[in-house]
């Protein structure tokens, strides 16, 4: 659900805990730039409140009062601005940020604690436990880093003050206005205090960092208490991540990727890399183009993508990604993200199996 974020920023959801939480009551003259400017002072925010109330059938006074109390967070537009430095993508560095002994140990504890729910999700949805464990680990270190921004403030700031310098500012503004509307709708209807929920600088919430629209569409009550809580119920988060995957084309039983070796001419490489991560080629077609898929992948039924993961000045890593690799990128639009999820899940599984 964070797929619309810049891929260069995908790691930041998990890094928000290292960003100081917004100070809402900073005294003296700095108050105006420390998150104390309420959107009640902005005509367009009040107009949008009226529009949302009408569209969603919500009490106009409640929507206006809620949105009016949202605060501008000056650090949020900065976090959304793409870096001006063109940094070489580096898989080994990226992997190292998410796959380390601390996170693996936390993953083993999470899996052991929620073994029954993970097994049930695998049975009911066909999404392997290790993929769910990989997602929740990369997103929040199993709930340890769910973000400290008030979601209403983050969403209002992005909806009304998205950085104009961003190459897709108009589309992103539209997106975050939609998310803000979803957030107001589901907190009102769910009887949830909209000021109590905290999340990433982009408004992603809970163990799996669901955006409001994803919460509305894919979140499920998986522990049976008749309510959905993606913050305090890891079991609800497990079921919701699995349901999200099924809604985004996950095919039970299909591997995520295969090893591949290359002997391709430059024009063949251009053809192979043209569709990027979108699965396009049969294994036979890949072989014609100079890419040999190994193992059971040689007989894979269905399209594959040649996925390139750069390593700075070193040679890139190549894999043959299946439709399930692509499904993971629907969670966050990045092949680096997807392979981190897969490999963290694998590492946690192996660490678990290595124990007596």
Residues that bind Ca ion (CB under 5 A): 221, 223, 225, 233, 236
Pairing outcome for strands 314-321 and 305-311: antiparallel
Q: Which residue has the tokens 């209403």?
A: 152
Q: Cβ 224 to Ca ion, closest distance in Å? A: 7
308 in active site: no
Which residue is at the shortest CB distance from Ca ion?
221
Instruction: Identify which of residues 147 and 234 has a Cβ nearer to Ca ion in the complex.
Output: 234
Q: Cβ 225 to Ca ion, closest distance in Å? A: 4
Q: Cβ 84 to Ca ion, closest distance in Å? A: 44
Instruction: Identify which of residues 223 and 343 has a Cβ nearer to Ca ion in the complex.
Output: 223
Cβ(33)–Cβ(21) under 8 Å?
no
Task: Show the tokens assigned to 14.
Answer: 């998990």
Backbone angles phi, psi at 2, to 5 degrees: -100, 20
Q: Cβ 228 to Ca ion, closest distance in Å? A: 6
Instruction: Identify which of residues 100 and 225 has a Cβ nearer to Ca ion in the complex.
Output: 225
Q: Which of 122, 130, 139, 181 is catalytic?
A: 139
Nearest to 186 by CA among 210, 163, 207: 210
Instruction: Identify which of residues 209 and 233 has a Cβ nearer to Ca ion in the complex.
Output: 233
Q: Cβ 348 to Ca ion, closest distance in Å? A: 24
Task: Show the tokens assigned to 85.
Answer: 């430095």
Instruction: Identify which of residues 236 and 308 has a Cβ nearer to Ca ion in the complex.
Output: 236
Give the residue numbers marked as catalytic.
Answer: 139
């Amino acid at each position: 659900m964070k797929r619309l974020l810049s891929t260069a920023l995908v790691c930041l959801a998990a890094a928000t805990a290292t960003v100081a939480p917004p100070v809402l009551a900073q005294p003296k003259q700095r108050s105006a730039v420390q998150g104390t400017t309420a959107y009640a002072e902005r005509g367009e925010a009040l107009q949008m409140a009226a529009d949302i109330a009408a569209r969603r059938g919500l009490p106009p006074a409640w929507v206006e009062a809620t949105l009016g109390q949202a605060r501008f967070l000056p650090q949020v537009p900065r976090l959304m601005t793409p870096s001006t430095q063109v940094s070489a993508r580096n898989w080994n560095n990226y992997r190292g940020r998410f796959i380390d002994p601390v996170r693996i140990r936390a993953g083993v504890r999470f899996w052991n604690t929620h073994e029954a729910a993970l097994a049930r999700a695998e049975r009911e949805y066909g999404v392997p436990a290790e993929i769910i464990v990989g997602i929740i680990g990369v997103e929040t270190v199993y709930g340890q880093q769910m973000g400290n921004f008030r979601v209403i403030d983050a969403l209002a700031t992005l909806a009304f003050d998205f950085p104009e310098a961003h190459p897709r500012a108009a589309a992103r503004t539209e997106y975050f206005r939609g998310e803000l509307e979803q957030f107001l709708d589901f907190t009102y209807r769910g009887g949830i205090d909209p000021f109590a929920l905290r999340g990433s600088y982009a408004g992603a919430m809970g163990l799996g960092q669901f955006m409001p629209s994803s919460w509305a569409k894919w979140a499920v009550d998986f522990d049976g208490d008749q309510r959905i809580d993606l913050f305090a119920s890891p079991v609800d988060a497990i079921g919701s991540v699995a349901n999200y995957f099924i809604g985004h084309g996950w095919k039970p039983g299909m591997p995520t990727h295969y090893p591949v070796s290359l002997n391709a001419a430059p024009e063949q490489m251009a053809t192979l890399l043209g569709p990027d991560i979108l699965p396009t080629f049969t294994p036979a077609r890949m072989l014609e183009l100079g890419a040999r898929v190994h193992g059971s992948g040689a007989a894979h039924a269905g399209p594959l993508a040649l996925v390139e993961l750069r390593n700075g000045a070193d040679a890139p890593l190549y894999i043959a990604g299946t439709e399930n690799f692509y499904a993971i990128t629907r969670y966050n639009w990045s092949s680096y993200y997807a392979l981190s999820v897969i490999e963290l899940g694998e590492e946690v599984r192996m660490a678990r199996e290595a124990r007596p």
